[in-house]
Structure 1
Amino acid sequence: MSHLIYVLIVGAISGWLAGQIRRGFGFGLFGNIAVGIVGAFVGNWVFGQLGVSLGAGLLSTILTSVIGALLVLFVIGLIKK
């Protein structure tokens, strides 16, 4: 249960940060959580494929998730055009 809460909090922070970086791409609280969670998976996959590690801990997890969320928002932007 605590892992789920951790994932939701990291997802919310990451989605919100990505929405702030890419202005106009905020999706509200639940949308930002979803973008952040999907971004965490995307970021982990991309960095794993590249053999890159940003370290361990909460800050690196959030940074990886934000980068992944930015990639997700970029793809959403392409699809919306």
Structure 2
Amino acid sequence: MSTTPLLDLTRAKEFAFEADQLRELVITFEQSLAQAIAALYQTIREKPLDMTGPLFTALVPHLTVLLGEVRACRSAL
């Protein structure tokens, strides 16, 4: 697993001029990411495992790391 952070707030900081605005952007991103993970789980349940299993197995660890980074960033704001 890569130790390079997946979350880069450079672009977000261009739009958020105050800490509260950045916090709201991170919260929105966190919620969107959580919804995307839930949708991925649902898709995996609806498709044959031989089609989705390898993709799911490869993707989920990265999503989990990214979600953890988002939550750590949010708690630091």
Name the TM-score, length of structure 1 as normaliser.
Answer: 0.38
Name the TM-score, length of structure 2 as normaliser.
Answer: 0.39
